[in-house]
């Protein structure tokens, strides 16, 4: 992967339009030295990466690609959290590599640090006489904007959504760096930084920038620990699990979700616990564990049947019966039971309210999976009908994850282009 990063350095330098000699002068290095770095005969250090970031104005892209793994080992304390938060809020953590940064024992260590950090006492913060009086109001406005961004997730492309969430993260970082906040306001700001980091991470993941997403998920966990906000941290962890069961080891995703379940056992509402159970079921289906997957889905359904609670976090607005059944359908398809998958997808459609169909990115993925289930049952007409619906649902919204799912479906349908309905669908584009 180091070779890919060196290639990125070279490509970015060439795009700048600077001659190598001019670039080297600006960076403060000999041209011959930088050539050796790009060619792999000299080490790519943090200082060199920062020089490229400075000259090319990349917002910390290359230094974070180099330093990212080291951040996992940084102490879990407030100073380190603030240092990393301030760096990433200005554009760090945008590693273009496609691999997931942590897995296995390394991931277990990150989760353990988060759990341990939650047990500490929240320290009182000395209030500065110079702290602006309107800071709590400003924090409230940031909270409103982050809630608004959550609902915009399916109306803008993932890259734009990540940038908007990072803007809110940058503002929170500046407030926290300035210091002097009253303890309650500071904890609230760290909670919001966790949610902003989660939003950045989720949209980077949707754009298939997995390593960068992982770094922001880690930041979400650090920030939630500083706020002693177990629910926001567990919520971020549940999204992190999706990345791991999609692109990494599903057993890692199961561990993440079991940790989230355990730490929130006495604080989470039934709706929150239903969400965690459903996502654990999906991870278990990826791991091929049919029995435990069925148990987790039963738990999710039973918990959701308990009804809403006044204490439900607002970010759980999307956790509905339709969503649970969509997850059940995807799990059944993963486990090689397309007939049950079709049953679950049909149940989900019947359970949906008109408002629930307003999330085209996710809905397109589920419709594509329903089409795959019909295809596995050799019902080509139904498969094409679902595929058309999925394409219309996604429309012009940019989502690399959804688009790749639809592209895979088209390839599968391509094997049946002799069927008139399939041929017409493929010809329509």
Q: What is the pLDDT of residue 15?
A: 87
Structure tokens at 95: 């590693």
Q: What secondary structure, in 3-state letters, does 195-260 show?
A: HHHHHHHHHHHHCCCHHHHHHHHHHHHHHHHHCCCHHHHHHHHHHHHHHHHHHCCHHHHHHHHHHH
The arithmetic mean of pLDDT across residues 412-422, rounded, is 90
Bigger pLDDT: 129 vs 250: 250
User: In the structure, what pLDDT confidence band is assigned to residue 80 with cuts at 50, 70 and 90?
Assistant: confident
pLDDT band at 99 (very low <50, low <70, confident <90, very high): very low
CA 23/CA 12 separation, integer angstroms: 11
Domain definitions of the chain by residue range: 1-58, 70-228
- Per-residue pLDDT of 250-274, as tens digits, reads 999 999 999 999 999 999 999 999 9
Least confident of 15-29, 96-110, 168-182: 96-110
Q: What is the pLDDT of residue 133?
A: 63
Q: Is the pLDDT of residue 392 over 70?
A: yes
SS3 415: coil
93 band by pLDDT with thresholds 50, 70 and 90: very low
What pLDDT sits at residue 316?
Answer: 95
**Can you list the alpha helix ranges (DSSP code H) found in 306-419?**
321-334, 338-351, 360-376, 380-394, 400-414
pLDDT of residue 147: 93
pLDDT, mean over the chain = 85
In the numeric block, which tokens belong to residue 140? 């409230």
Residue reference for tokens 């041929």: 423
The residue-averaged pLDDT of 201-215 equals: 85
Q: What is the pLDDT of residue 125?
A: 44
pLDDT at 395 over 80: no
Q: Is the pLDDT assigned to residue 108 strictly greater than 80?
A: yes
Structural contact between residues 48 and 34, judged by C-beta atoms closer than 8 angstroms: yes
pLDDT tens digits for 217-229? 999 999 999 999 9
Residue 156 pLDDT: 72
pLDDT higher than threshold 90 for residue 140: yes
Range in 136-140, 231-235, 307-311 with the lowest mean pLDDT: 136-140
97-101, 262-266, 388-392: segment of lowest average pLDDT: 97-101
Residue 378 CB contacts under 8 Å (≥ 6 apart), including other chains: none
**How many other C-beta atoms lie within 10 A of the C-beta of residue 328?**
28
Contact indicator for 286, 327 with CB cutoff of 8 Å? no
CA dist., res. 234 & res. 229, Å (int)? 9
Residue 97 is predicted with a pLDDT of 41
- CATH classification of 1-58, choosing from 3.20.20.140, 3.90.950.10, 1.10.3210.10, 1.10.260.40? 1.10.260.40
pLDDT band at 279 (very low <50, low <70, confident <90, very high): very high
């Amino acid at each position: 992967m180091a070779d890919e990063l060196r290639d990125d350095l070279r490509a970015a330098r060439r795009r700048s339009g600077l001659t190598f000699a001019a670039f080297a002068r600006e960076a403060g290095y000999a041209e011959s030295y930088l050539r050796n770095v790009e060619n792999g005969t000299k080490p790519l250090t943090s200082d060199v990466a920062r020089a490229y970031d400075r000259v090319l104005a990349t917002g910390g892209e290359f230094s974070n690609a180099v330093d990212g793994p080291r951040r996992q080992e940084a102490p879990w304390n407030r100073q380190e959290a603030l240092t990393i938060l301030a760096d990433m809020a200005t554009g760090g953590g945008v590693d273009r590599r496609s691999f997931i940064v942590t897995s296995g024992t390394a991931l277990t260590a990150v989760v353990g640090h988060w759990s341990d950090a939650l047990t500490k006492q929240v320290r009182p913060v000395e209030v500065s006489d110079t702290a602006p009086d309107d800071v709590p109001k400003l924090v409230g406005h940031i909270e409103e904007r982050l809630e608004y961004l959550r609902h915009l997730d399916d109306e803008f492309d993932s890259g734009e959504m990540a940038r908007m969430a990072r803007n809110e993260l940058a503002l929170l970082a500046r407030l926290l760096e300035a210091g002097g906040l009253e303890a309650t306001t500071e904890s609230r700001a760290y909670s919001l930084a966790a949610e902003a980091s989660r939003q950045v991470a989720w949209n980077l993941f949707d754009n298939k920038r997995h390593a960068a997403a992982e770094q922001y998920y880690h930041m979400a966990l650090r920030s939630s620990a500083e706020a002693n906000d177990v629910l926001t941290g567990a919520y971020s962890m549940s999204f992190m699990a999706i990345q791991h069961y999609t692109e990494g080891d599903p057993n890692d995703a199961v561990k993440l979700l079991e940790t989230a379940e355990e730490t929130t056992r006495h604080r989470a509402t039934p709706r929150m616990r239903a969400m965690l159970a459903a996502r654990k079921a999906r991870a278990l289906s990826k791991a091929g564990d049919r029995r435990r997957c069925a148990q987790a889905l039963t738990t999710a359904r039973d918990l959701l049947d308990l009804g809403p609670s006044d204490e439900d976090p607002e970010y759980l607005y999307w956790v509905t019966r339709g969503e649970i059944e969509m997850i059940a359908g995807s799990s059944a398809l993963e486990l090689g039971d397309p007939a049950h998958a079709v049953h679950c997808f049909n149940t989900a459609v019947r359970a949906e309210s008109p408002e629930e169909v307003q999330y085209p990115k996710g809905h397109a993925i589920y419709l594509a999976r329903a089409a795959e289930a019909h295809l596995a049952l050799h019902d080509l007409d139904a498969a094409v009908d679902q595929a058309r619906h999925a394409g219309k649902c996604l429309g012009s919204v940019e989502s690399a994850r959804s688009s790749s799912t639809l592209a895979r479906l088209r390839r599968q349908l391509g094997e049946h282009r002799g069927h008139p309905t399939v041929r017409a669908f493929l010809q329509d584009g």
